């Protein structure tokens, strides 16, 4: 491709970058294929009980007829100084703000839910304030789900992680989790374990400013 006013120097550099982008695309697909080939994971230790907006629901009930895959994103609520309730994580809010609109499309093929340890009333109120209306919201406040699947540390702190479960012959097994969250990183690099569902960074990666070293999403911004 050619664009108005570009120099030969620019085109050479851009074509070199394009070769790298093609190689990255191939690597992404190769990793995705390797992920799909994972053997069966461990069977879930319990039919976890969750609170939903419409009432209690068990993990087994999250699997709709004809859909044998369940994707769960664990949403963090962070301690609030001097307040009775924790506040919603700005980064998790940014992620779900992006994915809520895609939820009806995702739900055509798989079961999909966003889960938080906070009471369902608080989680739902936050969702309403943000204008979310599609993603299924769950509270795991009455179960050990967060602790068992990497969304809670030993001291009770909440952690963000995406987890996939499968159902085969009536048995629910763990398939995959975004374990990059716990893997070593290069100096100054974010784990990027849920970047695949967080388009904000994909946009910033394509502009001269990049991701920036000290910028993170907020619940509100000055003047907006």
The pLDDT tens digits of the residues spanning 117-134 come to 999 999 999 999 999 999
Query: What's the pLDDT at 224?
Result: 59
Residue 190 has pLDDT above 80, yes or no: yes
- Could you tell me the pLDDT band of residue 14, with boundaries at 50, 70 and 90? very high
Percentage, residues of the chain above pLDDT 90: 90
C-alpha–C-alpha distance, residues 145 and 47, integer Å: 10
Q: What is the DSSP string of 45-112?
A: SS--EEEETTEEEEGGGGS-TT--EEEEEEEPEE--TT-SS-EE-HHHHHHHHHHGGGHHHHTTTSEE
Residue 82 has pLDDT above 80, yes or no: no
Residue 108 has pLDDT above 80, yes or no: yes
What separation, in Å, do the N-terminal and C-terminal C-alpha atoms of the chain show? 38
Query: What's the pLDDT at 39?
Result: 96
- Could you tell me the pLDDT band of residue 214, with boundaries at 50, 70 and 90? confident
C-alpha–C-alpha distance, residues 147 and 206, integer Å: 36
C-alpha–C-alpha distance, residues 93 and 221, integer Å: 14
Coil, helix or strand for 214? coil
Residue 189 has pLDDT above 80, yes or no: yes
Q: Are the C-beta atoms of residues 178 and 198 closer than 8 Å to each other?
A: no
């Amino acid at each position: 491709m050619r664009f108005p006013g570009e120099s030969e120097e620019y085109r050479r550099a851009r074509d070199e970058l394009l070769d790298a982008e093609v190689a990255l695309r191939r690597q992404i697909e190769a990793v995705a294929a390797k992920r799909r080939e994972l053997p069966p994971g461990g069977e879930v230790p319990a039919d976890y009980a969750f609170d939903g907006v419409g009432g209690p629901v068990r993990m087994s009930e999250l699997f709709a007829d004809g859909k044998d895959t369940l994707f769960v994103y664990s949403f963090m609520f962070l301690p609030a100084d001097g307040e009775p309730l924790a506040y919603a994580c700005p980064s998790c809010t940014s992620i779900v703000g992006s994915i809520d609109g895609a939820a009806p499309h995702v739900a055509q093929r798989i079961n999909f839910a966003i889960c938080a340890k906070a009471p369902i009333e608080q989680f739902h109120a936050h969702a309403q304030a943000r204008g979310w209306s599609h993603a299924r919201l769950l509270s795991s406040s009455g179960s050990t789900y967060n602790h068992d699947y990497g969304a809670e540390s030993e001291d009770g702190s909440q952690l963000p992680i995406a987890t996939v479960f499968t159902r085969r012959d009536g048995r629910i097994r763990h398939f995959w989790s975004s374990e990059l969250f716990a893997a070593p990183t290069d100096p100054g690099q974010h784990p990027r374990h849920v970047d695949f569902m967080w388009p904000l960074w994909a946009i910033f990666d394509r502009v001269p400013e990049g991701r920036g070293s000290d910028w993170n999403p907020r619940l509100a911004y000055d003047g907006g």
